[in-house]
Every structure is written in structure tokens, then in C-alpha cells.
Amino acid sequence: MAHGYEIRAHAMLGVRILVLAKEDRRDFLEKLEENPKSAERFELVCRTYEKITQRGVGRCVGKQNFVRVLEGNLGLVEVKVGNTRIRVMSYLHGFGEDQELVLMFDFTGHQGSDNIESSDMKKGRKLAKVARECMEERE
């Protein structure tokens, strides 16, 4: 296993949501689901994932789209949750029509500028490498 991490495939609304998680620990999506205060955030993230998957991940990727590429060489992307300030740092695996999104952690985007805190970027870079290893182990 890649550094004690694994990819979890949660089933929802006919799609499989891929989430990076530490082994034997709850991932961010499970934590969101369990906390009543974040139930809506959880649902918004899931619905967004569902919509992007149904449309085709590749069609939603772009500088000004719902999946914004942050660092192409790492596959590090930011998923914008509809028209909200909720963002999900994610890893984009594969090419073309076979692209898959692996969610890593959520954060709140900066209103207006779309800037991301350097600590979130640092964490994102580290986890994107781990997510890639996990996805490659699968193949």
C-alpha cells in the first residue's frame, strides 16, 4: 500500500465516488456524512461528483470549468462545487475518456480571487502523489 493510504470507492446514486483515505481511518467524505452540521456540504460534494462523472470528467476539466487544473504534471485539480465556495482538492487520473477523479480533502475557496492557501496546495501536492501511487497499484 502507498504510505498507508488507500482509495475507497463509495457507492452513491449509480456512481462510485473515489476518495483517498488513510487505511483504517475515516476519509473526509465519511466525516462530512457523519456530522449533521456538514450534511449539506456532504450532499453538495456528492451531487457535484455525480454530475461531473455523468457528463464525463474530461468534459469538465479546464481553467474556467468545474474541474480546474492546478498542477498538470501531478494531476492535481480543484473541483468546484457548483456555485458555492466549497472546493475539493482532487487527483485526476488517466487520460481522455478514461479519466477518473479521486477526491482528497475539502476546503473553502477564497471568494472572488479563487486563490488557494499555500498550506492546502502543499497538502494537495503530497496527497496527489500518494493517490497516483494508489491508482497505479490498482492497474
Partner 1 sequence: MAVREGRSFVGLEARKPSASVRMLDYVMDFCFMVEDRLEELGMSRTELAERLGKKPSSVTRVLSGSANITLQTIAEYDAALDLGIILSRNESRMERPSLTVTATARKDETDVERSYTSTEG
**Interface with partner 1 by CB under 8 A: which residues?**
1-2, 5-14, 17-19, 21, 27, 30, 33, 40, 43-44, 46-48, 50-51, 54-55, 59, 64-66, 80-84, 114, 133-135, 137-138
Comparison of 73 and 83: residue with beta carbon closer to partner 1: 83
| CA 23 to chain CA centroid, nearest Å | 17
Cell of 39: 450534511
Nearer to partner 1, 82 or 119 (CB): 82
Phi and psi for 97 in degrees, rounded to 5?
-75, -15
Q: How far is the CB of 96 from partner 1 (least distance, A)?
A: 17
Nearer to partner 1, 11 or 119 (CB): 11
Beta bridge partners of 18: 9, 102
DSSP H or E stretch at residue 20: strand 15-22
